[in-house]
Amino acid sequence: MSKKGRIIAICVLLVTIVVTHIATFFGAGAFICDYALSRSVPVVDKILSEGLENYDHPFFVASSWFENVPKKSEIKITSHDNLKLSAYQILAETQTSKWVVLMHGYRGKPLDMTFYASKFYEQGFNILIPWQRAHGESEGKFITMGVNEKFDLCEWTEMISKRDAQAEIVLFGVSMGAASVMMSTAENLSENVKVAVSDCGYSSVYDQFRYLVESYLGFDASVLLDSAQLHANKKIGIDFSRASSTDALSKCRIPTLFIHGTADDFVPFSMLDEIYDSAILLEDGSTKEKLVIDDAEHMLAASVAPEIYFSKVFEFVNKFVA
């Protein structure tokens, strides 16, 4: 091959390598966004539903309570970006201004929250269980891991406050629902929100994605996540680098209880201390607490030790809700 031919060949090879890397970079980001965040991915949904069906715990016993509870209705609101959002409302047997808003996790549904709902119902609370955006009966093409869901939660609390000026509202979330709760506490929440409970929430979206990629795939996630961020900005209009529970909690003025199971390998148990330490300790010294449930896997703390779990939840909540 002539010198000119070798130069051309090398140039072609270099261009091919660069183009391949660029395609891989952007392709990987598109894959993460399209499969992790799109409203419906049949393979992912099937894996998650099959996993849940194998659990034998009170969550599914409570589903029969949910089906038969009186004063249940479906209500809707419009989000800040013009999506129709849906929720189940369950009114207490006796009229009250005590409310709890229960936020389900990633690719979850209101039925996942019925165990918690039944316990709050026993304590005389009105209950609201939204479908998070891009889930079930709520509109939306993309799940945003708390980025937009926190604003949806603000809208739900505003709706309750307009209907009941005396409302005392508890925010309660698990996993992504917990992140939505924590992130909302730095936003323009209704003054009627009195207390929050976060069960197995993540410190930030970026840290959670990094943990999953590096734990399950075994390689450095930085380049992959940078690509995902670019794609998310372009396609969904969100910035994951600003989706931080810890940043929100550093501004939060709402008393919060943080719960996590030691056997959680999906949202790592180590995030509990990161989150707890970032939360402001308010003047009375009792406005943040944590509960550790030994041997509890992700989202299963309430079923592993229900007496300890709910005793602590209501001990904390009742300090701030009459």
Q: What is the pLDDT along the chain (322 residues), one digit of tens a residue?
A: 454 444 444 343 333 333 333 334 445 566 666 677 888 665 445 444 444 444 445 666 677 889 999 999 999 999 999 999 999 999 999 999 999 999 999 989 999 999 999 999 999 999 999 999 999 999 999 999 999 999 999 999 999 999 999 999 999 999 999 999 999 999 989 999 999 999 999 999 888 888 887 877 766 667 777 777 777 777 777 777 778 999 999 988 899 999 999 999 999 999 999 999 999 876 655 589 999 999 999 999 999 999 999 999 999 999 999 8
Q: Is the dihedral of CA 32, 36, 39, 42 positive or negative?
A: positive
Q: Whose CA is closest to 109, among 80, 89, 133, 73?
A: 133
Contact 195, 256 (CB under 8 A): yes
CA quadruple 7, 9, 13, 15: dihedral sign: positive
Tokens found for residue 72? 């249940």
What residue ranges define each of the domains in the chain, with the CATH number in brackets? 1-37+205-240 (no CATH), 58-203+243-317 (3.40.50.1820)
Dihedral class, residue 76 (left if φ above 0, else alpha if ψ from -120 to 50, else beta): beta
Beta-sheet pairing, 98-103 with 168-174:
parallel
Q: Supply angle C-alpha 51, 55, 61, rounded to 5.
A: 130
> What does the alpha-carbon distance between residue 275 and residue 215 come to, in Å, rounded to a whole number?
20
Strands (E), 45-134: 72-78, 84-90, 98-103, 126-130
Of 304, 131, 279, give the one whose Cα is nearest residue 197: 279
Rg over alpha carbons for the chain, rounded to the nearest Å, is: 22
